[in-house]
Structures are given as C-alpha cells and as structure tokens.
Structure 1
Amino acid sequence: MEKRWLAHYPPEIPHHLDYPNKTLPDYLRETAAEFGGNDAIYFFGKTLTFHEVYEQALTLANYLRKIGLQKGDRVSIMLPNCPQAVVSYYGVLLAGGIVVQTNPLYTEHELEYQLNDSGATVLITLDMLYPKAAKAKAKANVKHLIITSIKDYLPTVKKWLYPLMQWKQGQPAIVKVEERSDQHLFSKIMSRPNITEPNIALDPVEDVALLQYTGGTTGVPKAAMLTHRNLIANTLMCAHWMYRCGKGTESILGILPFFHVYGMTTIMNLAIMQAYKMILLPRFDVETTLKTIEKLRPTLFPGAPTMYIALLNHPNLPRYDLSSIKVCISGSAPLPVEIQEKFEKVTGGKLIEGYGLTEASPVTHSNFVWDGERVKGSIGVPWPDTEAKIVSLETGEEAKVNEIGELVVRGPQVMKGYWNQPHETENVLRGGWLYTGDIGYMDERGYFYIVDRKKDIIIASGYNIYPREVEEVLYEHPKVQEAVVVGVPDEYRGETVKAFVVLKQGEQCTEEELDQFMRSRLAAYKVPRIYEFRKELPKTAVGKILRRALLEEEMKKNNESV
C-alpha cells in the first residue's frame, strides 16, 4: 500500500516505532525510578510525586488482591479527574485487573447496564455518588465498593472548607459511608501502605487492560477491548509526534476526563510515560481554566473544540496570560478553522486538529505540530505505523484520490474487538482493517479530510449534504459561538437542513441575516431552511455536541405532529 503521507514527515518523527514488551504499569515503575521526586499530580494545591503515585497504586493493588481480585477481573472506576483516578487506574492494572472506565454522570440505569455487561466485581467511586452506586451494586454482580472523597486529596485548609463548598454548590456536604466487609474506604486503604510488587504475569499483546464503552449515542453501548500494547502504542506515537516536548520537563492541563479514552491516552498515560506534571481539574469551568493556565503555566492542553470556543468567547479573556501553552491537540469533534486561528493568536502556541475513535485507543491521524505542513480543514496524516485508506461506499474497493468514501484504518493501536459482541466485532474489523463509519477523502499528498459520519449524511432532493461543511460556514459568522446541523424530515425534499445555533454573549441575530450569510458561501441546496436559536447545546462529558440528541428531539416532534 502506498503511504504517500510519509513523504511529508519531518525527520524527527520516525515512520516506524519499536514497541517494547512492557505493560502500562511498567512505565509507572520506570518513571518513579527515574523521576520519583518530580511532581506527578497537582490538584487544588495538593501535589503527589511519581514515587508517591507508584506506592499508592501498589497499596491499592495489594488490597484488591486481598479482597479476592484475580487476573482478568473487571474493576469499574467511576471518578472525575482527581489523584484517586490515576492511583486507581494503575492500581487495578498492577493487580492484574481490567479497568472499566465509567462516567460519573451516568444515571443509575446506565451504570447498572455497564456493570452487568462488563461483569465488574469492584466499583471505585466518590462518596457523593454512593447512593447511586449502592443501588446499582444490588442489581449487578459487584461484590465490593471502594469509596473515596474529593477532600481526601485536598490540602488541609481546603479539606476543612470542602463541606461548605459542597453546600454552596447544592451538593451533599457529607455523605457518610459505613465501612464493612463489602464496603471499603480509600483513605483507610492508603493509611496502611503495602508496597510489595504483586507477581502477576501479563502479556502486553494479548491481555486486555481496558474496557472502554462507546456507541451510546448511536445504539446500545459496547465495550472496546484495548490491550496494554494498544494503549502503549498510541501513547508512544503521541510522544514521538510531539518530539520537542522534553521528558520530565512539561506540564499538562488535565481537564479532558480520564474516563474518556482521549483524555486517558493524551493526558494520563502520556504524562506517566513521559514524566509530565498533570494539573488536574475535575470539570471544565471557563473562569477556573483561565485562572489555572495563568497561575500554573501548563505547556500542553489537549482539549475538545467546545473548550477552546468557550475560552475564546469569555468576556474576561484579555485579562489572562495564556502564553505558556505550547501545544494543544484538539479531538473528539471537528475543529473549526476560525477557532484554530484565533486560539493560536491568543496563546502563541500551536492548536492542531487530530482524529481518532475509541476503537483505536484513540488517535490515528493529526496535523504536524511544528515542522511538517499543517493543512486547514484536514485531520492531517496517519501517525507512525498507522495505515489508512478510503473505500468506496458503493463497491467497497479502495477509492481514488479525492473520492469520497469510508475511512478505514489499521495499526497496533486498533482494539482486539468488542467485549462479548462477536457480531459487532465482525462488522467493524474486516481483514485487519477497522471500519470507522466516518466519511472522508484523501488528497494527492496523503492528507485526510472528514466530511461527516456515515449515519449523519443529509440527503435532500437527492443531494448528499455533509453537516460539517455547513457548520464550518456557520462558525465563520462573527455572531455565532456554536452550531450544529441535522437533517429533518421534509415532505418535498425527503430531508431538509436545520441548524441549531448558540450566539455569542450579548449578540442578536435573525434567521434572515444568517440565511443571507450562508447563501453567499454555499450552494443553495446546502443552506439551512430552518434555524433554531438556543442558549446551549447538549454535550457529552468531553464537550462533544450531541447531534443525535437533537435529531431525536426532531423525530419526536415529527411523530407527535403526524
């Protein structure tokens, strides 16, 4: 297969990487040995060194073994970004377990489904989530709950103030959890250190490290089985892509949740592998983020487009110095060109668009950060050892240059398959290739472009309309902060284009004004026929706009009117 993109690689990025026969905990062990005294985590004034993270992970691993965890048993981690999330992740892996990353925002029903589907026997979560966890435990096969609190890892003064802060935010000030044979307190476990190395043989290539659930917006969630090798390969690719970032010298802003594979790889695993300091924030708040960047001077800031959009549109942005930011890799949703240019101007750093999916650990493509050419509107080129091609939607054969089709990829980061879903696995893994469901094309130089999800194409009067193209133009309008486009039923055209728009603070705009703007830039059949102005749009935990939720709203309205 012709890998024409390799001709554009700068000399610093190798075409092929060596993947040592190591597991994820091996990297924590090595970093603790070489950079043990360096800060690994900063959390609201509290710091942990790499040595402390390693010892605490060992303590948890030994405790898990003590309560009966065997190699291959699943442990659900339902935590926001906090020190316990890192300690728990590596502690489970050191014990030979498989991590099941669980969104703390899940409803009881969603949590119950995931626990039953994964067969998790242990659930690690926060005290404020205990009522939900306890109910789900009773309906699943979970044998043990391990409960922690945000205040467990706060500095002394903030620990005292924590109940008041919770009360002001409308959260329960104190959730008392009784310690018993099936309920354990994280703080008590850590108060009795046990830093013996568990003797568990792991095969990095075959042994699953993580069950990462995906597909919740398009059907029943299913778990991608990601091995130690899958996750290590993708993290090593990321480290080599950012070749100017020195080992042990960078600090990385950890807002993207670790329960999402993008945050887990590009922040947590990368930081452990490269000895970067993680500055953790448990949720995205614009003012807090701006203050954190100015005060703590992180150099790396992986994020989602909605995060960068929110920062750029905050009225107090000019008051803050964001010049410490060197590199941002944007993922989880398309990055509007307008936002990329503005953010680079504000920070002086590089904001590049990447592409990935849960089933690929997750990154497969991105633009070059420094020496290679960056192509606006493109997801860039495949990472080292990653192959990609476009296949025709009609014939399934490899498409010609610039011909639109489905993007398929293969490489060492591609999952082993879906957990207990052989039929679904066969649908997406064919002949070693992962069929992404994303529609795009490759240009003459080997740069790739995504035009939309296979399921999201709008067909109006026989024309294929790609929502992303329409959204890009909407983002060019000076009054538009966020926009998403969907196809809604239309008696005459079959489907027609509807745009949901959030205006910038203080701005006013009419449908007529947007219509004139769009018609000056797009063919008439692509221009939205309906506009709906909203104060906010539904989003996932990583800030990805939920197009599917809006589409379901429209379908419900349509059914009610029939």
Structure 2
Amino acid sequence: MEPNSSPNTPAAAADASARVPGAHTDTFTRDHLPPPGQWPELLLDDPLVRYPERLNCGYELLDRTIAERGPDRPALRSGDGEVWSYGELRETVDRVAHTLTGELGVAPGNRVLLRGPTTPWLAACWLAVMKAGAVAVTVLAQARAPELATICSLARVGHALCDARSTGDLRAAGVQGLRITEFGGDGPGDLTRLAAARSGPYPAVDTAADEVALIAFTSGTTGRPKDCMHLHRDVLAVADTFSREVLRPSPDDVFAGSPPLGFTFGLGGLLLFPLRAGASTLLLEQAGPGQLLPALARHRVSVLFTAPTAYRTMLGQLAGHDLSALRRCVSAGENLPAATWHAWHEATGLRIINGIGATELLHIFISAADDAIRPGTVGVPVPGWQARVVDERGDELPDGEPGLLAVRGPVGCRYLADPRQSEYVRHGWNLTGDTFVREPDGYFRYVARADDMIISSGYNIAGPEVEEALLRHPEVAEAAVVGRADELRGQIVVAHVVLTEGSVQTADALRAHMKASLAPHKCPRVFVFEQALPRTATGKLQRFLLREDAPWGLS
C-alpha cells in the first residue's frame, strides 16, 4: 500500500497515483484518469490486497509463479491437444515482448489492441504487453469495423496484434496510423516469425502498481459501451479475492469456459486465476455448449466458467459426456435463475457458484461457494469487498427493501475521459446499475437491472422474476421479459419466449402457467415467440433491443 495514504479516501488513492513515479513514457492513460473527486473509495488496507508500490502483473502471473512452482507444469492447453508448459509460455512471452519493444517500437504506456479467437498465442500476447509495460486493449474477435474504429479512437491505439484470421475487419476499420502485426500467419512480418528470431529473458518493465495495465470495453448490453481502465494491482486483486478466497483453485486444476479474453469474465476465469494459482487453462476457439461438453470430458476440466444460458442449454446434452473431473462451476454475466441452478445440481451433483461482477470492477465481487450457496440469491460480498443497498440519495436501505446495489473494494470504476464516471461513482461507492435486496441474513438477492424495472398500473415488476417463472415451464428454453409503453397502464409486461425444440405452446397455455405462480399484475399480457433472443458476443441478453421493439426474430 502507498505510504501515508488512507485506503478509504478516493483523493488519497488518486494523489498516491500521482506521487509514485511511473514507468509509462506515454502518459495518455494517466492523463485521462477521472479527477480525484470522482474516484470511488478503495479498500487497499486488507492484507489480501496489500501490494508494493511497484509491480508488473505480467511478471507476477508468470515469472513469480514459475519461481514458486517451477517451469515444467502445464500452463496453456489448446483444443487440439497442444500443451505449453510454464517455461515454454515464458519463453514465448519474452520473445514477443522483445519484439514489441524492439522491431515494433512499442513504448511503455502505448495502447496495444489484441484481437483474435481464444488461443494460447492470444494469451501470450496479452502477457507480453503486460511485461513490456504497455496497455492491453483486448477486443472480441466478432467486433466489426465501426466498433473497432471507435475503440481505437477512444483509446488512441497505435499498435495492434491480430490473429492472421481476424485482420479483415480491423483493416477495414481504416484507423489512421495503426500498425497491425499479424500472428499465426506465414508472412515475413508475422509476429510468430519475428519473435522466433529473438531470444533471452525479458526483464519486465518496472511499472508502478497504480499504472494502467488494460482498458476493457463494456460488452454493450445497453447499446452504450464504455471504456474502463484497470491498474496492475487490480489484475492481482481480483485473483487474490474472488479466486483465492471463494473459488479456491489448486495447482492441479484445469480451467475452461466460454467467455473470450476480450470479456473480463473470461480474462479472469481463463487466464488470471489459473496462472495466479499455478494451474492450467484450456483455451477453446469455439466454446459454445456443443463444443464445451466434449472438451470438458476430453481434457478432464475441473473448473468451468460460463453463463446461465449455457448451463441451461447443456442440460439437454449431458448424455454420453464424462464430467467426473469437474468440481467447480462458475456462473456470471447475467442473472442465474434458481430453476437452472436446481436443474444443474440434480443432473450433475455440482453446485453452481453464482456471482455478480462488472467490467468497471474487473470481476466478481458478490458470490458464495459450497455449503454457503443459497439458490435464488447471488451470495455475500467477496472477502476484500463491501456492498450495500441504497436509495437514489445514497442512503442505505433496510434489509428486505429493493434499491440500488453499491459496491466498493480494492478495484474501482475509472472510465477513460467519460462524463458517465459521475453516474457510476457516487458518494465514494460504485453503483452498478442493478436493483438488489439485502436479506436479513446478509445475502444479496438480484431483482433486476435498474433500467429493467417495469412499472405497470403503479406496480413495480422485476423482469427477471417473471422470467424465472416462465423458465419453470418444461417447454420454455429461454425467456426475456420487458416493458412496452401502454397508454392506459403506463407499461405492460411483454414476454419474449424461445421454446424447446419440437414444442408447440400457445400464449393462453403459458398465461395459465404464469397465473398459477405469480400475482396477476405480474403476468405477461403479450407473448412473443422467438427463434432466438438477441445477445452480445459474450452471451449477455440485450433487453434494450426488445424494449425498442427492434425487428428481432419475431415469429
């Protein structure tokens, strides 16, 4: 922790950032941090997250782990069976870091865009950017040219490392001055060739713990993605709180999952957490439910990260797949319905670890594991974090009363030059935009996104509650509930439903099912049967498209 600073004072945290000399010669990210008065309070005095003033997270995740556990343990696995040991991974990372700071001219603090499917090479590039003291901007392989152009403009990106198979949209973005270096191709300037010509250890740049390591863009469930800056110490803090204290991995674990590395859920679950624990991770280019199940069996995966929808989809495909090695299942990204939790537990004997996280806070901050799990709730604050439920003024509400979720911990929201900083951070707390209830026993229960509350004839109706009731019907595969403007009632409840294959249900039949379990005012007045629901590339439901009555798969 920085000397002479209070861990709970936002101004102190920001002043400390200014006091500690940085290694960045390109100071764009530091220059565009929010003003001190808009920082959230940071809880940095907990022994779990007490770090020295100077650290490089790439060194800590790779070199430090090798020093503690040796270079011969498996680190990265690919879907085709290739395995990189920790020693082999470090050799590749160091070669790439030499190339970045040599031939490619990347300076500390420069932003480097990373793009491609989830592969060991993408992971190695991320670690190399960390060790080189640059700032990683990892984007989804599915991002299109206009999105890429916007990201590069906001983050002032000058360099890109891109899988040779994913360069089309990036080149089409037409970013002026962007130097694109491919990897995995066969051209003379390919990164794999350039790096092969380099050798020797790469001494990690001596970054300050509070220098920016990465810029993560929100996944766009509201249609307005934002850019979040995270520090070198933040990268370690999420591993040393949620992963170490709740997930509790062992060095023999094999991690896998569906979220890509451009999604902070995937960055943590598939790279930061396994490396911090000395474990290995399976990186799959295709990781939908149909690809996950055979991969879990083949590679003896023990820790799984994916979204609630994937767990529900896999339930109908479990037959013939050996999941005996699986011991930990983590769900985040959207609300986990209690019905899905119980169905998975009944089918596999495994208890899903539910969690809520945010790109603004890097990873999960409320969760529970093992006997502490209570289906239908998210859990309790992760060690090192605090949470409460507040009203619009920031005053804490009594247990049982719904309100806005406020969180603080070792990581906080820092938007890059974005006026929405003052909306997310209020009174020193991060307001996630979720409506929650804190139960008398201290458990937090999700109600809805704050903008997903439906007000009909004076009643407040939480869309996820109606969705859970719909999902209890055996022939409902997916459901999304939104409000639609109505002259008489203000809003009416509209249910968008995907049925299981071969099912034939009518609105009247589903309405009868709903009235058996919900008060009449909560029952949908309109049912829309869909072939699929609109989701982001990371699997999150985009309710805003349904609220806007966009032409999405109506049938």
The bucket for the TM-score relative to the shorter chain is 0.7 to 0.9
Q: What letter matches 1:274 in structure 2?
A: A
Q: Do the aligned partners of 2:229 and 2:416 also contact (CA within 8 Å) in 1?
A: yes
Query: What's the secondary structure of 1:318's corresponding residue?
Result: coil
CA pair 319-451 structure 1, distance change in 2 beyond 3 A: same
> How big is the shift at 1:509?
1.1
Q: How does 1:62-211 map to 2 (within 5 A)?
A: 62-66=98-102, 67-136=104-173, 138-142=174-178, 144-149=179-184, 179=188, 184-198=189-203, 200-204=205-209, 206-211=210-215
CA RMSD in angstroms, aligned pairs only: 2.0
Equivalent position to 1:256, from 253, 256, 259: 259
Q: Could you tell me which residue of structure 2 aligns to residue 292 of structure 1?
A: 295
Q: Does 1:392 align with 2:391?
A: yes
State the alpha-carbon separation in 2 of the partners of residues 127 and 550 from structure 1.
35
**Residue 146 of structure 1 aligns to a residue in which SS?**
strand
Q: 1:17 to 1:75 in 2, by over 3 A?
A: same
Q: Which 5+ residue runs of structure 1 have no aligned equivalent? A: 1-14, 153-176, 558-562
Q: CA deviation at 1:255?
A: 2.5
- Alignment match of 2:56 (pick from 23, 38, 48): 23
Task: Kindly state the Cα deviation for residue 267 of structure 1 after the two structures are TM-superposed.
Answer: 2.1
Deviations 1:512-531 (A, max 9, x none): 11000101111111100111
CA distance in 1, matches of 2:223, 2:340: 31
What is the DSSP-based 3-state SS (H/G/I as helix, E as strand, rest coil) of the residue aligned with 2:303? coil
Provide the C-alpha distance between the structure 2 equivalents of 1:226 and 1:133, rounded to a whole number of angstroms: 24
* Number of aligned residues: 503
Whether the aligned pair in 2 keeps the contact of 1:305 and 1:543 (CA below 8 Å) is no
Which residue number corresponds to residue 36 of structure 1?
Answer: 71
Tell me the distance in 1 between the aligned counterparts of 2:70 and 2:477: 42
Q: Which of residues 431, 440, 454 in structure 1 aligns to 2:436?
A: 440
Task: Letter of the 2:388 partner, please give it.
Answer: K
Counterpart of 1:216 in structure 2: which amino acid?
G
Aligned to 1:231: 235
What is the TM-score of this pair, normalised by structure 1?
A: 0.86
Residue aligned with 2:353, SS:
strand
Deviations 1:222-257, CA, capped at 9 Å, x for gaps: 2111111112111111232346532x2111114321
Identify the match of residue 491 of structure 2 among 486, 492, 495.
495
- TM-score, length of structure 2 as denominator length: 0.87
Residue 298 of structure 2 is aligned to residue 308 of structure 1? no
Contact 2:95 2:196 (8 Å CA) reproduced: no
1:524 aligns with 2:508: no
Q: 2:400 aligns with which of 389, 399, 402?
A: 402
2:286 aligned with 1:283: yes
Partner of 1:11: none
How far did 1:396 drift?
Answer: 3.0
The share of aligned pairs that are identical, in percent, is 29
Q: Which moved more, 1:21-30 or 1:235-244?
A: 235-244
- Amino acid paired to 1:322: L
**Partner in structure 2 of residue 508 of structure 1:** 504
Q: Distance in 1 between matches of 2:200 and 2:378?
A: 44
Shift of 1:47: 1.1
CA distance in 2, matches of 1:225, 1:537: 30
- Alpha-carbon distance between aligned partners in 2 of 1:35 and 1:471, rounded to the nearest angstrom: 49
Q: Which has the higher mean CA deviation after the structures are superposed, 529-538 or 402-411?
A: 529-538
Please state whether the residue corresponding to 2:502 is helix, strand or coil.
coil
CA distance in 1, matches of 2:47, 2:203: 33
Equivalent AA in structure 2 for residue 387 of structure 1: Q
Query: What's the CA shift for 1:16?
Result: 5.4
Distance 1:356 1:428 in 2: 14
For residues 344 and 186 of structure 1, do their structure 2 counterparts lie closer, same or farther at Cα, with a shift above 3 Å needed? farther
Match of 1:370 in 2: 370
Distance 1:556 1:483, change over 3 A: closer
The whole-number CA distance in structure 1 between the counterparts of 2:248 and 2:212 is 31
Residue pair 1:387, 1:411 contacting (<8 A) in 2 also? yes
Maintained 8 Å contact 2:217/2:227: yes
Q: Structure 2 unaligned segments of length 5 or more: list them.
A: 1-45
For 1:418, what is the secondary structure of its paired residue? coil
Opposite residue 263 of structure 2, the aligned amino acid is H
Shift of 1:178: 5.4
On the 8 A contact 1:207/1:227 being kept in 2, the answer is yes
Equivalent residues in 2 for 1:2-21 (5 A)? 17-21=48-52
1:200 and 1:296 map into 2 onto residues whose CA distance is 35
Q: In 2, are the aligned partners of 1:391 and 1:406 still within 8 Å (CA)?
A: yes
Counterpart residue identity of residue 289, structure 2: V
Partners of 1:485 and 1:195 in 2: CA distance = 56
What is the rounded CA distance, in whole Å, between the counterparts of 2:288 and 2:405 in structure 1?
Answer: 34
The one-letter code of the counterpart of 1:209 is A
Q: 1 CA distance for matches of 2:373 and 2:287?
A: 28
Change (3 A) 1:16 1:347: farther
Question: Mapping of 1:237-248 within 5 angstroms?
Answer: 237-242=241-246, 245-246=249-250, 248=251
1:48 aligns with 84
Residues 394, 426 of structure 2: 8 Å contact kept: no
Q: Counterparts of 1:354 and 1:433 in 2: how far apart (Å)?
A: 19
Corresponding residue for residue 381 of structure 2: 382
